[in-house]
Structure 1
Amino acid sequence: GTMPVRQRQPEPRSRNGWYALAAFLALVALAIGGFLLYRAINGGDAAGQSTIANYAGQSIDDVSAKLEDLDITFDPLEDPNANRAPGIVDRTEPKAGVLLGAGQLLRVYYKPIPDQSVIPNVQGETVEQATVILAGRDLAVSGTTRTPSEEIAEGRVVRTTPRIGRRVDKNSSVELFVSEGPVLAVVPEMVGDSELTARNELAAAQLGVPFIETTELPPGDTRIGLVIAQSEPAGTDVEPGTVVTLTVGAEGDPITSLPPATLPPQTLPPATVPPETQPPATDPPETQPPQTDPPETQPPQTDPPETDPPETDPPETDPPETDPPPTTAAPTTVTPTTTQTEGTQPDGETNGDERPNDGDGAANGAGD
């Protein structure tokens, strides 16, 4: 028979992914709720702007304190037509829920209080203008005090005592604090100090956090870690908060590179007379003169002058008269046998050529 085939049951879908998604959404909702709660309580955000809360129905004293804590500039103004009890805030401008920019003025309207006045905002006004505004609230100026201020121009009101928004009896006196402008700070001497000491000196002089630059010094330099330069000279008057640049020495790497090649200075040696030395005797090398063939020259062709030899007659000479020798009979002699030498004749013999010509002699004798 055949084996039965079991069918695999599908596994249930994992629920871990759903749990993770639900947890993530819960965290997002919690973060949004916390942010909204923070804005509702503080009425502001991190960008220096504030969302105006609903202050209607609250006393002017409480609203003034809250706005001071939020560092919101405001001005309490009376509204006799407000449908509120005396001293109760009726509305604000801008109204509740609007985003208020940093430094923007918030006007708070309240119902006037019989026999009492609320200190108005006279910040930034001249002393004369502030005196007129206070007189309109049945208040008088008791005096002025000079005070430095970074934000308020010189000669303008910085603040009052009592502060803005406080209720006082009518005909009360108010003191004005008038700006004398920013107080100039004096730059201290910091060269030779450590970086930490220089920072403390700048803070004590009401100067800003310094900008630090470093410069490498050779190892072992005593100025390592100390201020070696400052951008503003010591004793200079600057505005408070001015940033001074400090140059601090830092240890550099040992110098391992070869120095650049430099040429030594050119110096002339002292003039010296060399010792007299005789060169060794040397025979000059035998040299054969080059063989040169003399140039072939043709002698000039000259024709000898034509000369006729002189005509001379030969002298007439007569041959000498000689007598022939007497004829003698030759003796009979026995001649010894001798060896004749070439070119010699034996004695008494003559050549046939030298034999006398008898005919010629007979002729000559006949002639005589």
Structure 2
Amino acid sequence: MKIDFANLQHQYQLYKKEIDLAIQSVLDKSNYIMGDEVSLLERQLERFTSTKHAITCSNGTDALTLSMKALNISAGDEVITTPFTFIATAETIAMLGAIPVFVDVEPDTFNIDTTKIISAITSKTKAIMPVSLYGQPSNMLEISDIAKSHGLKVIIDGAQCFGSTYHGESTAKFADIYTTSFFPAKPLGCYGDGGAIFTDNDTYAEKIRMLRVHGQNERYHHKYIGMTGRLDTIQAAILLAKLPHHKEEILARDNVAQLYNKGLKNIVKTPVVRSDRKSAWAQYTIRVNNRSEFQENLLSKNIPTSIHYPKPLHLQECFQYLNLSSGMFPISEMLSKEVISLPMNPFLKTEEIDYIVDAVTSFCNADN
């Protein structure tokens, strides 16, 4: 048996007719930049998330940059986030000249430990940027309370969690600005790079729309120093074809996760999802000992795995200037040595899941 980690080709074949027609429509009109499909997608994303404004953009990284620029975060400002995430989270803070201030994570959800946020706040702190890692939102009510009491803004890095919910509502509703990514392997992915920004704030939305087209408020009139941050029309068309299937796919992902949970209970440390939230299951990530041997063993059985993330951000060479050292964020450092992601997509068959569970169980029993 050969397992596909993300099953993107299978997904394309399922929706091939709709996707091909959507792409062909753009080709026929030849309106490749800011075509009708872009604004249509934005209206549908607003309905999906129940947010007032959805602004599509070039990728999830630019979504973070645009969001921080909309909040006037600049050189010397501090933004609190987690060291256990993809580089883009802190990279975008640093690119603006601001300072990423790291707070360790919870060992079970892998998300920012809200009990440690207040002690990280200083007079320079401007925002908190929680990451919905592997698809699960952070403790957003507590984060929102902390932010309000200290006059801070909240930007959710939701690159992995589009379609997740918190207290029964879209995660996008629990921040000043929520961002996501449409990278192909994300829960909702296009066929290249893409992203989106969500907010209920009219002022932020207006500024972000200008910033993504070089700060223009009208053609060749530039109010802000902006960037090229648009979503291509063809990618918008692909997302329009896939969005109607997204809720069903999230349910299927959750079903895959529950089958994993059932089969791997008491075998490995399985993901914990709090009862007040629903994960989009971008990844199904377990914790194991002897990770290298584990990965090699599964690969020998044609089971692909992936490690997100093997080195926490505070130990990355590019952040040496922050003068952070090993041992400062012990949970993140521990997780970086133990986490490994199993195949996760909505189309995994029960027999494939059983095969993966048997392989994991066999290794762990032999290892013990």
In the superposition, the TM-score normalised over structure 1's length comes to: 0.19
Structure with the larger RCO, 1 or 2 (CA within 8 Å, 6+ apart): 2
Q: Indicate the structure with greater helix content.
A: 2
Higher normalized strand content (fraction of residues): 1
TM-score (norm 2): 0.19
Greater C-alpha radius of gyration: 1
